[in-house]
Structures are given as C-alpha cells and as structure tokens.
C-alpha cells in the first residue's frame, strides 16, 4: 500500500470533507493572486472537540515538472477545548484560509485536508499562465 492510496477525493459539492479551492483559472507569470481554501462550503463539516478539520495543505505541481511544491500549510487548532470540558471552550477555528501566491509556470493547484476522524481528502484545479 502507498500513502497516496489513503487520500480520498470527491466533488466538494456532494462531500463535506473535500477541500474547496478558489483561485483564478488563468494568471500572468509573476502576478500575485489569491487562493482561498476551505472545507464545508456546500455541506458544513462539524467543528467540535471530537470531530473537526485539523489542517489544509496547498501544493503546486508545475506542468512537466517531476516534483510537487508545497505552497502553504494552514492549521485550525481551536475546537472548543476548555478546562470546563470538551466543546465548552470559547473558540472554534473555521477551516478557511487565504494565501497570496505567484507562479512561473502553468500547472495544478492541489489541496489536501485532514479530518481528525475521517482522514485525508484532496482536490485539484488547473492553473494556466496567460
């Protein structure tokens, strides 16, 4: 078995775990653009001490490149934990992050998210140079 075999994928409109990538389809080389990542845009994912999204990673795979490049790692670390007990805390981080990015090649944006009890989920979106 390979690690990649454990990563699930699905249409984010039908599966609450699949990460959502919001980014332009086309950018100019070196132009700064924004990528927004989230989980649960269509079907909300639970956000409790027992069940939540831990992190989302963003990668860029340039066309024709053997390697993949990690662009960002966004952690969501408050899920109602408290001295009073689970879910009694004052803060619940939502699985949402925006980063600014520029690229020098066409390729694919790939997001991977981790649910603490339902594992890894990925989605991807092509990115073309104008």
In the list 115, 122, 123, 127, the residue contacting Fe ion (rule: CB under 5 A) is 115
What phi and psi values does residue 8 have, to the nearest 5 degrees? -90, 155
Non-local CB neighbours of 84 within 8 Å, separated by 6+ positions: none
Which one of the spans 19-27, 35-43, 62-70, 108-116 is the region binding Fe ion (CB under 5 A)? 108-116
Which one of the spans 2-10, 56-64, 92-100, 110-118 is the region binding Fe ion (CB under 5 A)? 110-118
Spatial separation of the C-alpha atoms in residues 109 and 50, rounded to whole Å = 30
Q: How far is the CB of 16 from Fe ion (least distance, A)?
A: 7
Residues that bind Fe ion (CB under 5 A): 115, 118
């Amino acid at each position: 078995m390979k690690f990649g075999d454990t990563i699930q994928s699905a249409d984010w409109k039908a599966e609450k775990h699949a990460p959502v990538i919001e980014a332009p389809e086309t950018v100019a080389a070196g132009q700064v653009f924004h990528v927004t990542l989230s989980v649960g845009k269509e079907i909300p994912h639970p956000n409790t001490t027992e069940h939540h999204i831990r992190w989302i990673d963003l990668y860029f795979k340039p066309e024709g490149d053997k390697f993949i490049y990690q662009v960002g790692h966004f952690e969501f670390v408050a899920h109602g934990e408290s001295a009073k007990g689970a879910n009694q805390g004052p803060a619940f981080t939502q699985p949402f992050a925006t980063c600014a990015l520029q690229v020098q090649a066409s390729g694919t944006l790939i997001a991977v998210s981790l649910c603490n009890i339902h594992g890894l989920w990925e989605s991807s979106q092509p990115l073309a140079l104008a």
